[in-house]
Amino acid sequence: MLQRNSLRWLLGSAGPSFRRKPESKLGGWWWTPAQVIILLGLLGLLPTNAGSQERRPKIRISNAGFTITALPLLAAKDWGIFASSGIDVELIVIAATLAPAALSGGDIDYIAGVGPASVSATLTGLAARAIWFSSDRISYWLMARPQFKTLDDLKNKKIAISGGVGGTNHVALVVALEKSGAIPKDYVMVGIPGQQT
């Protein structure tokens, strides 16, 4: 009998008088607070679109700057290539000297670019590997004022190297000078702060 009376109370035909005014009457039923709570609880169990959507893994990729070397990453993100592959990519600008620490700490998943900082970190024990290259050639420019027409004109003149002496840009300039038949020691190379991967 206790169950029957409880059921009647939930259905609104017996029990305490928690009746609403006639304007809360819906199709001949009076809605009690218990009925409203049960109805809301049942509605909460229904699946929603947000719950049924598959969650994409989030990948965080660092780069020293959004320059021409980052173009493949920026294009892949803007063109939806990552999204169509089911990957949610966040591109982050982090100084090349800080990126290995962020990688080892789990703050980022990948470093875009192999340079002195990442090579040095790998040699000191960071478990990292180069997994892809966006180009099989280096992309550097040597710019000078209009009065300098040839490499010989730059001998004994100061050449600014972003990222500092010993960095990727410095090594690239030395290699380019050697390949062109020049002697790198004939040129004055000065390191300036700049983006360096």
Name the least confident of 13-17, 61-65, 135-139: 13-17
Between vectors from CA 144 to CA 140 and to CA 145, what angle results, nearest 5°?
A: 155
- Given a cut of 60, is residue 57 above it in pLDDT? yes
For residue 22, the number of C-alpha atoms closer than 13 Å in the C-beta half-sphere is: 0
| Phi–psi pair at 111, nearest 5 degrees | -110, 125
State how far the Cα of 19 lies from the Cα of 23, in Å rounded to an integer: 11
The two tokens of residue 17 are 């008088």
Mean pLDDT, rounded, of the chain: 75
DSSP letter at 26 equals B
The two tokens of residue 183 are 């002697």
Asked whether 44 and 76 are in contact (CB, 8 A), the reply is: no
pLDDT tens digits, one per residue of 8-38: 444 454 444 445 455 444 555 555 666 666 6
Asked whether 88 and 140 are in contact (CB, 8 A), the reply is: no
Asked whether 142 and 176 are in contact (CB, 8 A), the reply is: yes
Task: Determine the straight-line distance between the first and last CA of the chain, rounded to whole angstroms.
Answer: 79
Q: Is the pTM of this model over 0.75?
A: no
Asked whether 57 and 88 are in contact (CB, 8 A), the reply is: yes
Asked whether 96 and 70 are in contact (CB, 8 A), the reply is: no
pLDDT tens digits, one per residue of 105-121: 889 898 887 777 777 78
The two tokens of residue 55 are 């969650």
Could you give the domains of the chain?
Answer: 2-50 (no CATH), 54-123 (3.40.50), 152-192 (no CATH)
